[in-house]
Amino acid sequence: MELGLAGKTALVTGGSKGIGLETARALAREGVKVLICARRETALAEAARDIMATTQAKIETHSLDVTKVEQIEKIPRVIGEKLGRLDILVNNAGTGTYKPFLEVTDAELIDGMAINFFAQFRICQRIVPLMIAHRRNRPRSVFQKCSPTSWRRTTSASIA
Ligand SMILES: NC(=O)c1ccc[n+]([C@@H]2O[C@H](COP(=O)([O-])OP(=O)(O)OC[C@H]3O[C@@H](n4cnc5c(N)ncnc54)[C@H](OP(=O)(O)O)[C@@H]3O)[C@@H](O)[C@H]2O)c1
């Protein structure tokens, strides 16, 4: 599929596995320069090799735990070093608590909010300014699983 994304840059969190890995592969196939992030470096390296084998595209990687604020703070610098600028953010890293509502513990609730809400909000806060800075004549998009606030004044948004 030709989506007109060739030459764009993208960050995919949780890009070493599952939906994130396949999103990164699809973007790479479109000619997007992709940076994938997840916690495990070995899984990131394997994912980068896998994508390269199927698309011939070189994939950038960076180890990141999205629940750690101090690691999120470094992301703008990492993007600058590895991508130069950012056009597309796929805020995919996350998890679910797959058990009945009445059995969810407080610790599971807190962990779920840390990765599925706070991390997404914090990453957007640090990265959207970069996207705005480069927005002249460039489409830019944020894809995420939830929309904690309105993005209409800052960037286009899609709910995945
Ligand atoms: N699969 C479905 O049917 C489905 C449906 C609806 C929504 N979703 C949501 O879509 C997202 C992706 O689902 P999936 O099934 O593709 O998940 P998955 O296969 O379990 O992959 C999760 C990815 O996120 C990374 N990750 C996990 N915790 C992280 C953390 N704290 N910091 C950074 N990266 C982290 C994992 O790598 P590391 O472990 O190395 O960090 C991995 O790359 C999840 O939020 C899920 O809830 C999934």
Q: Strand 60-63 and strand 33-38: pairing? A: parallel
The answer to whether residues 91 and 148 touch, using CB atoms and an 8 Å cutoff, is no
On the question of pLDDT at 8 being above 80, the answer is yes
CATH of domain 9-159: 3.40.50.720
On the question of pLDDT at 103 being above 70, the answer is yes
**Partners of residue 38 on adjacent β-strands:** 63
CB of 39 sitting under 6 A from ligand 1: yes
Rg (CA), the chain: 16
Interval between CA 125 and ligand 1 midpoint (Å): 21
Choosing from 23, 39, 59 the residue with most ligand 1 atoms within 8 A of its CB, the one to mutate for a pocket test is: 39
Residue boundaries of the structural domains of the chain? 9-159
From the CA of 114, give the closest atom in ligand 1: 31
What is the average pLDDT across 122-137?
85
Taken in order 66, 68, 71, 72, the sign of the CA dihedral is: positive
Q: What is the pLDDT of residue 136?
A: 61
CB of 66 sitting under 6 A from ligand 1: yes
pTM of the model: 0.89
CB of 91 sitting under 6 A from ligand 1: no
Residue 148 amino acid letter:
P
The C-alpha atoms of residue 143 and residue 124 are separated, in whole angstroms, by 10
On the question of pLDDT at 96 being above 70, the answer is yes
Interval between CA 137 and ligand 1 midpoint (Å): 32
